[in-house]
Amino acid sequence: MNAVVQMFDHAPRSLVEERVVRPPTIGKIRPGIKVLTRAHQSNEKAVKLYNDMVAAGESFEAIGKLLETSLKLRNALIPRNVDYFVCRRSDFSNPDTADEILRLYGEDRGQGLRLYRFPIMFAFDDWLRNVPNQMAAYTTTGRQYFSEYDRDGKRYCKTYAPVERNARAQRARRSFGGRLVVHRQDDDIPDGVCDPHVCPQYQDRKCNLTANFVFAVPDVKGLGLIELPTNSIYVLQKAYSAMQTVALARGRLTGTRFWLSKKEFDITRIDDSGQAVRQKQMLTVLDADIDLGALLDGADEAQPALDAASRAVALLESDGSVQSIADPLHQPEQRQCDDERPGDGASSVIYDDDDRDGSSDDDSPDPNETLEDKRHRMSDLLHRLGLSQPERQNGFRKYAHQTYGRGWIERIADVDAMNARLKTALDDPAALDVEIQYAIAQAAYV
C-alpha cells in the first residue's frame, strides 16, 4: 500500500507526472442491481432478454443498450436495493478477479454464491482520497457540470470551457494537458457557486451526489484498486464517521482491515406531495476490525492494542435507525419517486437544525442514544476541534485517562461527560488546550 500512497512524491519530471496521479483501478463491485420498470415487466420479450443476459453475467449497461437497440425500449431499467453486492466478471479487467473474490468471501444463503460481506483495506490516510465524491450532472456525451471546493472553502460548480476554433485551420484548437476547467457562469448560476436550491439540473434530478469507495481486497491479486459506487449521503456520512473514528484511535487509516456489508435502515424522505415519509432501505455499511475501547482508553498500556487491533468492534449502527448528521455537501431536501430510487440508498434527506452538529441545544444526554452513537458524536466533536489530527491524538488520550480513569470509553456516564466538555470547548477551545497540556505534563511525572 505504501507504494500507492507515495507515488511520484517528487517534482514533476515528465508530462505524465504533471497530471494529477490517480491510482489504477482493476474493477468495480456494485452496491445493487437494476430491474425492468413496472411498465416493461409485462413485455415478455424484454423479460426474457433481461433474464438471459443476467444469467450470462452481462452488465446492466449492456442489457439496457440491447433493450434499447433491439426492442426500442429507452430507460427500461431502474436501480433496486438488495442485501448483497454485485461482483460480475464483466466489471473487471481480469474477469477471474471477480471469481476469486466470490470464492474467498462469497456466501451461499440459498440463492447461489453472493457477496454479502467482505474485507477491504484503504490505500490512503486521507479519507477523501479513499472515498472521492462530488455533485455531478451527466449527459449522453459525459460529465457536464461537477462540484469542486476552492481555496476559499466554498463549493463551486465547474464545467469545461468551450472549445476554441482555429480560424486559420477552420477546426477546433488543440488543447494541451486536457480540457480546460472553468467556473460555471450562466443565467442559472451567475456566481459559479454550487447551490442545489437554485440549480435547475439538481431540481430536475440530473445532478446528484456521486461517490466511490476505492480500496484493495485482501488476498486478491491485481495491480490496482477496486471501486464501489454510491449515491447515498447516508452511506457517505457514516463511512466518514467510521474512518475518522479509526484515524482518531490509530492515527492512520492504512493497515486497518475494514469490512463492507449491507444493512437495512429506516430512511426519511420527502415524497412528491412534500410530506416526510419513512421507508426501509439496504445501505452499504463500513466497519472495522479494531478494539476501539482499548485504543481510546488513553493509557500507555493500551499501546499493544494499536499493533494487534484484532477484536472486531462495530463502529457504526447498533440498531436499524439512521440519525442525520452534518451534511458535508450541504445537501438540501430532495424528492424521489419509487421508479427513480437510487440503487444504494435514498437521495432524499431531512435535516433538523439540531441534527447538524450531532446534538441538540439541550446539553442533557439523549436517553435513546446508544454508547456507539455517543462515540460517533464524540468523534465528530473531536474532529471539529482538531483533536483527530495525529499530532494531537496522544495528548487527548492522556487528558481523557487523567480525567476519567482507565476504561472510561466503556462507561456511558464518562462518555456523556466528555461529550459535554467537548461541546463547551467549541466556544472556548483554548481552555481545553490548556487542560490537555496540563494532563500531558502530569503524565510526564508519573
Nearest to 393 by CA among 296, 273, 260: 296
The torsion angles phi and psi of 339, rounded to 5 degrees, stand at -80, -5
Residues linked to residue 216 through DSSP beta bridges, in sequence order: 121
Task: Please report which residue ranges of 80-228 form alpha helices under DSSP H.
Answer: 96-105, 127-130, 200-203
- The residue with cell 447498533 is 318
pLDDT band at 111 (very low <50, low <70, confident <90, very high): confident
| Segment 271-291, tens digit of pLDDT | 777 788 888 888 999 998 776
What the block records as the C-alpha cell of 197 is 436550491
Q: Are 76 and 91 in contact (CB under 8 A)?
A: no
**Which has the minimum average pLDDT: 78-92, 161-175, 185-199?**
161-175
| Segment 384-424, tens digit of pLDDT | 888 877 668 778 888 888 888 878 888 888 889 999 989 99
| Segment 13-59, tens digit of pLDDT | 887 777 777 788 999 999 989 999 988 888 999 999 999 988 887 88
DSSP designation for 209? E
Task: Please report which residue ranges of 106-217 form alpha helices under DSSP H.
Answer: 127-130, 200-203
Nearest to 199 by CA among 235, 155, 163, 152: 155
Listed in sequence order, the residues at least 6 apart from 204 whose beta carbon sits closer than 8 Å to its beta carbon are: none
Interval 118-137 mean pLDDT: 93
Identity of residue 355:
D
Residues linked to residue 148 through DSSP beta bridges, in sequence order: 156
